[in-house]
Amino acid sequence: MAMPKEKFSLSTRDCIVFFFGFAVVLATMPFREMASFPVERLVPYIVGTFVGLLLISVLFSWLAFRLCKRSQRAASITFLVFVALGVMGQVGEAVRYNHRTFDEKVVLGQILPIFHRSLMERVIPYQRACEKMGEMSPLNPIWLKKESDLDIAREQIAIVRTTNSELRDLFSGMTPVITKALAARGVPVEDRVRLTKGIVDNCAGVRKIFAKMRDQDDIITAEFLKACDLLEEHWGYWHFGANTNVLVFNSNRAAKEFNAIRDNISKVAEEQRQSQTELHALMNRH
C-alpha cells in the first residue's frame, strides 16, 4: 500500500518564530520618523514589510521541501533561516538609519535658500499688488471716470490684503516648513527639533517686526476701503479744485472724514517705513 505524500505546511513553532521575528522588525522601525507619514503610506509600508518577509521565507521553504524529497524538517529549517535573515536585514537597516550622520552646515545652507525662495514667491505678488493699488488710490481719485470704478479699486485692495496675509502666514508657520525640509534631507528627529528651534529663535526679532508691518498694511488697506465707501456715498458731491488735483467735498462732514482717513494712512505709512528701516538694520546684523 502506497504511503500518502507528505504535504507542505508550516508548523506552529514556525508561525510563532515568524510572528516573533516580525515583532522585532516592528520594534526597530523608526516610528518617530514615520509618525509624519500619511496613513495611506504608513499602512502599506507595514503590510508590505510583513508580506515580503512571509512570502520570501515561505517560497524558499517550499523549494527546500521539494528539493529534499518532501522533507518537512528541511522546509522548517529553511523557513526559520530566511525569517532570521530577513529580521537581521531589517534590524541592521534600522541601526544604520539611527546612526546616520549629516553635515549641519551643508543642510542649513540648503534649507535657508528654500525659505528665502518661498518668501520671494510671496513678496513679488505683494509688491505688484501694492503698486497697482497705488495707481488706483482713492486718496487721489483723479483716475475715477465712473462710480463702478470704485469696485475695481476695492478688488485691488482685496488682492493686497490677501497677499499680505500670505506673507504673514509664511513667517507664523515657518516651523513646519523648516521641519519638513530637514526631514526630507534625512536629519534625525532630535537634530531636526534643535535646528528648527535655533532658526526660529534666531528670526524672532525679524518675525516680530515683520508681523507688525503686516498689521500696518491691514490698517492702511482698511482705511483705503473707507475712502472708497466715502467717495461712493458722496458720489456727485465732490470735485477737483480749479486747475488743481485737490479733492473738494460739498459737505464739510465728508471733507473732515476724508482728511482723517488720509492723515491716518500717512501716519501708519510713516510708522511702516520706520519698521522697514528697523527690519533692514536687524537683518544686516544677522
**Looking at this protein, which amino acid is placed at residue 273?**
R
Rounded to 5 degrees, what are φ and ψ at 240?
A: -100, 140
Can you tell me the distance from the alpha carbon of 117 to that of 119, in angstroms, rounded to the nearest whole number?
5
Span 139-168, mean pLDDT?
A: 92
For residue 247, what are the β-bridge partners?
Answer: 240
Distances (CA, A) of 178 to 76, 100, 112, 164, 208: 50, 20, 9, 21, 18
Choose the weakest-confidence range: 22-26, 137-141, 266-270: 22-26
**pTM of the full structure:** 0.62
Domain boundaries, the chain: 12-98, 104-285
* Dihedral sign from CA coordinates of 123, 36, 205, 108: negative
C-alpha cell at 283: 537683518
pLDDT, tens digit (0-9, with 9 covering 90-100), for 134-150: 999 998 888 888 999 99
pLDDT for residue 272: 94
pLDDT band, very low/low/confident/very high, at 2 (cuts 50, 70, 90): very low
pLDDT, tens digit (0-9, with 9 covering 90-100), for 64-83: 777 777 777 777 777 777 77
Crossing angle, helix 149-172 and helix 174-184, to 10 degrees? 60
Choose the weakest-confidence range: 8-12, 115-119, 125-129, 199-203: 8-12
pLDDT for residue 42: 65
| Residue keyed to cell 502506497 | 2
DSSP the chain: -PPPPPPP---HHHHHHHHHHHHHHHHHS-HHHHTTS-HHHHHHHHHHHHHHHHHHHHHHHHHHHHHTTS-HHHHHHHHHHHHHHHHHHHHHHHHHHHT----HHHHHHHHHHHHHHHHHHHHHHHHHHHHHHHHT-TTSGGG--STTHHHHHHHHHHHHHHHHHHHHHHHHTHHHHHHHHHHHTT--HHHHHHHHHHHHHHTHHHHHHHHHHHHHHHHHHHHHHHHHHHHHHTTTSEEEPTTS--EEESSHHHHHHHHHHHHHHHHHHHHHHHHHHHHHHHHHH-
State the Cα torsion 17-18-21-26 to the nearest 10°. -140
**Residues in CB range of 35: below 8 A, 6 or more apart:** none
Choose the weakest-confidence range: 38-47, 180-189, 221-230: 38-47
Can you tell me the distance from the alpha carbon of 259 to that of 253, in angstroms, rounded to the nearest whole number?
10
Look at 220 and 36; give whichever has higher pLDDT.
220
pLDDT band, very low/low/confident/very high, at 162 (cuts 50, 70, 90): very high
pLDDT band, very low/low/confident/very high, at 273 (cuts 50, 70, 90): very high
Rounded to 5 degrees, what are φ and ψ at 246?
A: -80, 130
Task: Report percent pLDDT > 70 for the chain.
Answer: 84
Look at 254 and 78; give whichever has higher pLDDT.
254
- Count of alpha carbons within 13 Å of 57, Cβ hemisphere only? 26
Rounded to 5 degrees, what are φ and ψ at 238?
A: -145, 155
| Residue keyed to cell 490698517 | 219
Distances (CA, A) of 110 to 123, 178, 237: 20, 11, 59
pLDDT for residue 245: 73
